[in-house]
Structure 1
Amino acid sequence: MATFTAACVQLRSGKTIAKNAEVAEGLIRSAAKDGARYVQTPEMSNVLVKSREDLLERITDADADPFLKMAKCLAAELGIHLHLGSLAVLAGGGKVANRAFLLGPDGAVEATYDKIHMFDVDLPNGESWRESATYEPGRESVIADLPFAKIGMAVCYDIRFPAIFRTQARQGAEVLTGPAAFTRQTGEAHWHVLQRARAIENGAYVISAAQGGHHEDGRETYGHSLVVDPWGKVIAELDGDEPGYVLAEIETDAVAKARGRIPAIANERDFVCQVAGGLKEIPA
């Protein structure tokens, strides 16, 4: 079992990748100086642009992305694991990948994950989102096996789909993640309860760095980057939407203890869901 310090870096990313990278670099440096060995940034760390046309004008493929180049050098310089919650990068065919990168202390990419679930919705306040019109959804769940913990990777809207996190927990993930750019409206309603629910039902830590505040493209995000322990307690939170960072001590022994007290994963059983009238059975 291991103990390490984790950090959530909260950003307010705008339309200029170089400026976003500069702000993120300063906060990552400060978090590492305070002892963080694992640092996570939010979804869309490199750029936050609602217009598809504006986005495509700004981004490149992953190899050329200036935010990722900065992050690789910084991870190597600081000797940390740096989890970029996601970057917008070209995926070919006119599509974009919403891709997370986990960098090792040598600056190399140890794991990547493309966001699986697309946020397509019309909200009561008039906001409309169609992520599937721009982004190519991922098809694989990913666990990064780091020296101090197995970390399950996910992005934002994925937090509403428990099967991803359950599958990762079954495969030994001790830390689950949900770096995000939650809208203020949905964040105020559901952010905390979703993070705590994923932690409780899987007996795992949940670490979720967030975007926060009013952005250049007109959207408003909720902030409140946080860390939840395996018993469902919020042990660290950046209370508000201002850029900054928050630290938490992660003790992987707490995962084993929580799963021992509530052995939901061990007690899980296969079942089928029978349609009323007995017409057919649907695998659960």
Structure 2
Amino acid sequence: MTKLKLALCQMNVIDDKEENLMKASSMITAGSKNADFIVLPEMFNCPYSNDKFIEYGEAENDSYTLNIISKLAKSNQVYILAGSIPEKENDELYNTSYLFNQKGEIIAKHRKMHLFDIDVKDKITFKESDVLTAGNDFTIAQTDFGKIGIGICYDIRFPELARIMVENGALMLFYPGAFNMTTGPAHWELLFRARALDNQVYCIGVAPALNENASYHSFGHSIVANPWGEIIAEADQEEEIVYCEIDLDEIKKVREELPLLKNKREDLYEVLKK
């Protein structure tokens, strides 16, 4: 199967878990009528705020959120990449993404590896490491459409991670994210085009919609970039479902025309997965 229909659910996230899950459920149900693979944003059940990460945190083995997503994946017979949620394990808290297959089974999970600790003078300061623990595992999952790689938001800024996932067979790179109104206009589109172009894969990002009443303002602009580095689908800032069909045969075509991965000088350098 070479063609894949995506539904990017750019939902408005508020300070009400039940309302967020109702919104996610309605968008998944709507999206599944026209797509094989549904993607939710980073922290889709939770406001993007350190205190809310603590408040909304759930353990995987009895997660109310994950139970709902599992049932939706099974009932709609679609893959769902459940953006991310605050995941509790013992005394640690992680920013974790879960991939469900059409049977509602979790087939992969990714804990955000690079925590968002930034201080842009007079614009934005945020320090995820105050409450979150970084993950240490690369995440490459096998699907009916081939292998995919999963990162979360800030992870996309580190090209070594993308290259390792591609070296391990990933044809699509997914980064649920929540860039802000400072970093988003400057870097969001550039980073997705760059990771797609560098690795000659599809690169997909799904963000929350802009909620001006929240303490953290998401840039939105959920996006799909193709192996040539072109944007083939993109939202604005409002809540919407973005549909996009991708053809995985395009990866082979681009790699034959511009054989970057073959032309690497591995006698001089290589990226290793530890």
Normalising by structure 2, we get a TM-score of: 0.93
2:8 — aligned with what? 8
What do residues 224-269 of structure 1 show as CA deviations (whole Å, max 9, x unaligned)?
Answer: 101111111111111x211111111111111111111222112212
Q: Partners in 2 of 1:49 and 1:209 — Cα distance?
A: 14
Q: Partners in 1 of 2:136 and 2:45 — Cα distance?
A: 22
Q: Partners in 2 of 1:88 and 1:7 — Cα distance?
A: 23
State the secondary structure of the residue aligned to 1:236.
Answer: strand
Deviation, structure 1 residue 32? 0.8
2:272 — aligned with what? none
1:14–1:49 Cα contact (<8 Å) kept: no
What do residues 189-213 of structure 1 show as CA deviations (whole Å, max 9, x unaligned)?
Answer: 1110110000001000011111121
- Match for 2:166: what amino acid? A
Note if 1:136 corresponds to 2:133: yes
Deviation, structure 1 residue 55? 3.1
Note if 1:39 corresponds to 2:35: no
Note if 1:203 corresponds to 2:171: no
2:55 — aligned with what? 57
Closer/same/farther in 2, CA of residues 91 and 215 from structure 1, 3 Å limit: farther
2:123–2:182 Cα contact (<8 Å) kept: no
Deviation, structure 1 residue 16? 1.8
Say how many residue pairs are matched.
269
Q: Partners in 2 of 1:260 and 1:165 — Cα distance?
A: 20
Closer/same/farther in 2, CA of residues 24 and 138 from structure 1, 3 Å limit: same
State the secondary structure of the residue aligned to 2:89.
Answer: strand
State the secondary structure of the residue aligned to 1:184.
Answer: coil
Query: Gaps spanning 5+ residues in structure 2: where?
Result: 270-274
Matches within 5 A, 1:1-284: 2-33=2-33, 35-52=34-51, 54-93=52-91, 95-214=92-211, 217-238=214-235, 240-270=236-266, 271=268
Q: Partners in 2 of 1:248 and 1:210 — Cα distance?
A: 16
Q: Partners in 1 of 2:213 and 2:98 — Cα distance?
A: 24
Normalising by structure 1, we get a TM-score of: 0.90
Deviation, structure 1 residue 215? 5.6
Q: Partners in 2 of 1:104 and 1:41 — Cα distance?
A: 14
Q: Partners in 2 of 1:132 and 1:265 — Cα distance?
A: 35
Deviation, structure 1 residue 216? 5.1
1:13–1:215 Cα contact (<8 Å) kept: no
1:15–1:216 Cα contact (<8 Å) kept: no
- Match for 2:129: what amino acid? S
State the secondary structure of the residue aligned to 1:69.
Answer: helix
Q: Partners in 1 of 2:166 and 2:129 — Cα distance?
A: 27
What do residues 120-170 of structure 1 show as CA deviations (whole Å, max 9, x unaligned)?
Answer: 111233421111111111111111110112111000001100011111111
State the secondary structure of the residue aligned to 1:213.
Answer: coil
User: CA RMSD, aligned part only?
Assistant: 1.6
Query: Gaps spanning 5+ residues in structure 1: where?
Result: 273-284
- Match for 2:76: what amino acid? L
